[in-house]
Chains A and B, each alone.
Chain A
Amino acid sequence: MDFELMITSFPKLLNAAVITLKLLSVSLFIGLFIGLLFAILRLNKNIFLNRFAYGYSYVFRGTPLLVQIFIIYFGLGQIEYLRSTFLWVILKEPYWCAIIAFALNTGAYTSEILRSAFQTIKPGLIEAGKSLGISNKIIFYKIQIPIAIRQSLPAYGNEMILMMKGTSLASTVTLMDLTGVAKYIISTTFKPIEVFIVAGSIYLFMTFCIHNVIKFLERKYTFNS
């Protein structure tokens, strides 16, 4: 055990963890909106919108995240037309490519979580709202969404942890996130176990934090049970 290496690499890895957290929070934020949009499309009666949303989630959940990042980072740059538009400003940055891939990926999973949450709401609650003369819009915002959020919290917590692990793939498109820096230190010092322990503990600490925040929210939003 090389404890000196563990101590000297700790601040470097901690700095890299900031990039991991940035990637995670931005992509989860965008992914939540994508997920909500596609969950609503999935519940729509229009068969084309419905199929489209299903296809989106099927493709993004059925292929590895690595393929998605590579298509966006290496693949899209190949289209001449895209290079001339303003989109190229975003797509030439590995940071934004990674975020687009992560957001689309987590969006697909989130849409499934939210869809099943909306579907498990008891029809009696919506009927109760209707019989009180509340408009459909308010029923959606004041009854369906809060219940769906509570229903989907445990599954969404898992998704957040999966996404945190997913951000490690940013290191494959030259971003120096926690895994990227860990790999760099391993390949220069050839001390994989020490670096794994330090980097792994940082990841586990983040997992622990997410887990507890979700637990706290679950308790907060559980009524009269």
Chain B
Amino acid sequence: MKLLAFGKTGWGDELFYATLMTIAVAITAMLIGFLFALIFTPLKLSKYKSLNLISNFYTTVIRGVPELLVIYLFFFGGSGAIMYVASIFGYFEYIEINAFVTGAISIGIISGAYSTEVFRGAVQSIDSGQFEAAKVLGLTKFAQFYKIILPQTLRLAIPNLSNVWQITLKDTSLISVTGLVEIMRQSYIAAGSTRDPLFFYSFAAILYLLLTFLSMKIINRLEVKYSRGY
């Protein structure tokens, strides 16, 4: 227990901040993932073959390649790509991207591929009568989507999105390879300096369990909220 003391003598406060960092990365990545899903789901459902192809390429590659490899691609390639773009605009200084940004974007792209599949499934499983009814009522396209289709999609998507959230949360542990101080990295540092890896990695496991447990509780509430009337 001495090892977990707050302040200068223990690792308690460091691990606490690391946990907050894990949560921050996971939420940012999940939101970036939603952004990607928002772009790629319509492409996937579009009637144009070429648009389908782009979206299928994205989801197949990201879901078929290990997360770690994707993270290495962004970790080693990210600043190079940005510098290349900057050089077009006449900026030649060295640009370094923050580990948080690299991590959140790479995990976000992975999470987006899973979210896209979830939203596609949810939209497809909505009865075509709902689309027709919305049209018959004379609603605008915007209102059709936001008032009729989206609320139903959410109800169907939440159980699967909770799986995506769990995957995203666990994938954040992989960002530790880029040096971002989240739970895993902090445990690695603590284990190295105290020579007590068993304790710190087990503690990290407990922290992750706690996070998954708490998020399940919150998601269950959301599920109840969105399935009112069913």
Query: Which residues in chain B, 176-203, are within 8 Å of chain A measured between CB atoms?
Result: 176-177, 184, 187-188, 191, 195-198, 201-202
Q: Is the interface of B mostly helix, strand, loop or mixed?
A: helix
A63/B170 contact (C-beta < 8 A), A190-B76, A204-B60 known = yes
Known A-B contacts A62-B208, A64-B170, A67-B184; the reply to A182 vs B69 at CB < 8 A is: yes
The verdict on A193 contacting B197 (CB below 8 Å), with A62-B213, A63-B205 known, is: no
Select from chain A the residue with minimum beta-carbon distance to B74. A192
A192-B177 in contact (CB<8A): no
Chain B residue, CB-CB nearest to A182: B69
Q: Residue A172 at the B interface, CB < 8 A?
A: yes
- What per-residue 1/0 map shows which CB atoms of A196-225 lie under 8 Å from chain B? 100110011001100000000000000000
| Residues in A neighbouring B69, C-beta threshold 8 A | 168, 179, 182, 196, 199-200, 203
Q: Which of A79, A171, A190 contacts B68 (CB 8 A)?
A: A171
Residues of chain B within 8 A of A196, CB atoms compared = 69, 72-73, 77
Q: B68 touching A63 by the CB < 8 A rule?
A: no
A75 at the binding interface (Cβ < 8 Å): yes
- Determine if B77 and A192 form an interchain contact, defined as CB atoms under 8 angstroms apart: yes
Instruction: Provide the residues of chain B in CB contact with A186, threshold 8 Å.
Output: 72, 76
* Residue in B closest to A206 when the chains form the complex, CB atoms: B64
In the bound assembly, the distance between CA atoms of A76 and B176 in angstroms comes to: 21
A78 is an interface residue with CB less than 8 A from chain B: yes
The 8 Å CB contact of A78, one of B188, B198, B208, is B198
**A66 and B73 contact, Cβ closer than 8 Å, known pairs A165-B66, A172-B177:** no
A59 at the interface (CB under 8 A from B): yes
> Is the Cβ of B197 less than 8 Å from the Cβ of A78?
yes
Given contacts A74-B191, A172-B177, A186-B76, contact A200 B208 (CB under 8 A): no
Size of the chain B interface, CB-CB below 8 angstroms: 38
Cβ-defined partner of B72 (8 Å) among A70, A182, A204: A182
Contact B67 A165 (CB under 8 A): yes
Residues on B with C-beta less than 8 A from A62 are 166, 208-209, 212-213
Assembly CA distance A203 to B72 (angstroms): 15
Answer yes or no: A187 CB below 8 A from chain B CBs.
yes
The distance in angstroms between the C-alpha atoms of A166 and B188, with both chains bound, is 20
Q: Which residue of A lies closest to B171 (CB)?
A: A64
> Residues of A contacting B176 with CB < 8 Å?
66
- Given A183-B72, A192-B72, residue A75 in contact with residue B198 (CB < 8 A): yes
Q: Closest B residue to A187 by CB, please name it.
A: B76
Residues of chain B from 47 to 77 with CB closer than 8 A to chain A in the complex: 60-61, 63-69, 72-73, 76-77
The CA-CA distance from A201 to B200 in the complex, in Å, is 37
B173 CB–A CB distance under 8 Å: yes
- Cα separation A102 to B72 with both chains bound (whole Å): 21
Cα–Cα distance between A182 and B70 once the two chains are bound (Å): 11
> At the interface, yes or no: A40 with Cβ under 8 Å from chain B?
no
Contact with B along A45-86 (1 / 0, CB 8 A): 000000000000011001111111011001111110000000
Residue pair B198, A204 in contact (C-beta under 8 Å): no
B182 to chain A minimum Cβ distance, whole angstroms, is 11
Contacts of B184 in A (CB 8 A): 64, 66-67, 70
> Complex formed: what's the CA distance from A109 to B191 in Å?
29
Interchain CB contact under 8 A, A168 and B68:
yes
Given contacts A196-B77, A204-B60, 13 further A-B contacts (CB under 8 A): A58-B209, A62-B212, A62-B213, A64-B174, A66-B174, A66-B176, A70-B188, A78-B196, A165-B64, A172-B177, A182-B72, A193-B73, A196-B72
Can you identify 14 A-B contacts, CB atoms within 8 angstroms?
A63-B205, A63-B209, A64-B170, A64-B184, A70-B188, A70-B201, A71-B205, A78-B198, A165-B66, A165-B67, A182-B72, A196-B73, A200-B69, A203-B69
Interface positions of A (Cβ within 8 A of B): 58-59, 62-68, 70-71, 74-79, 161, 164-169, 171-172, 179, 182-183, 186-187, 190, 192-193, 196, 199-200, 203-204, 207-208
State the B residues within 8 Å of A (CB).
60-61, 63-69, 72-73, 76-77, 80, 166, 170-174, 176-177, 184, 187-188, 191, 195-198, 201-202, 204-205, 208-209, 212-213
